[in-house]
Chain A
């Protein structure tokens, strides 16, 4: 017996449905990139130095957003250390008031786990590079101090979900 495909004019969302196939087009998370990294990096630079905590992502639509999460174990030897997240050349921790402390800072000789969550709107379908940077405020900065693990996660979020 031939099957007939019925095209409905509408659907009652109060009804109960038992889907046995695949529902497509409903996802809000388009793609996810993730990495861990644990090689210590030392710097005494007062400008931000790129770590190897870095990921590329290419948005499928310019209206989609990138939800970025990062954590980095950091240590300020003899002073303060800070970290931030860049999208290509854009410092995502920078605003008119905070021009020096990124996403926080560690106190002198006290390890800290700095992190941030950014809902970025790159308006692009080109490949983007997100990288964690660190620097000293005073003293020296160590990222992934004593090989503790840093992480970076990127999610492309469909514009309709926001």
Chain B
């Protein structure tokens, strides 16, 4: 699971992330937080950790939680999740595979 997917699940917003960091040091180098927008429509970013709104340990804990949940899912639930990723609504998925 990519770190960016974990950030989505943690509801971290307004960020930029280069690559897929595997260590705290890499994360601190690759993560930037949007602080505002300039007059030309460009995001102004900061690498100030105090403004990240998330820590590496929180990311790791959430990643473990999500991967465990994913591993424990039934094939039916995995299929539903993939259909949702493809853009189907819950109603459309239910119509196909049931509740």
Contact = CB atoms under 8 A, between A and B. Distances in A.
Interface of A: 39-45, 47-50, 52, 77-78, 86, 89-91, 94, 108-109, 133, 135, 140, 142
Given A42-B4, A77-B8, A140-B4, A47 B43 contact: yes
Contacts of B45: 49
B99 interface: no
Contacts of A109: 85-87
Given A47-B43, A90-B40, A41 B18 contact: yes
Interface stretch (B9-17, B60-68, B71-79): B9-17
A86 B38 CA distance: 13
Given A90-B40, A133-B42, A45 B87 contact: no
Contact of A45 (B7, B16, B40): B16
B9 to A, nearest CB: 12
A1 B42 CA distance: 69
Interface residues of B, number: 25
Contacts of B8: 44, 77-78, 140
B45 to A, nearest CB: 7
B13 A44 contact: yes
Nearest to A135: B43
A42 B6 CA distance: 12
A142 B16 CA distance: 10
Contact of A52 (B18, B34, B37, B42): B18
A49 B19 contact: no
Nearest to B13: A44
Contacts of A94: 41
Contacts of B41: 47-48, 91, 94
B96 to A, nearest CB: 17
B15 A43 contact: yes
A109 B5 CA distance: 13
B20 interface: yes
B20 A40 contact: yes
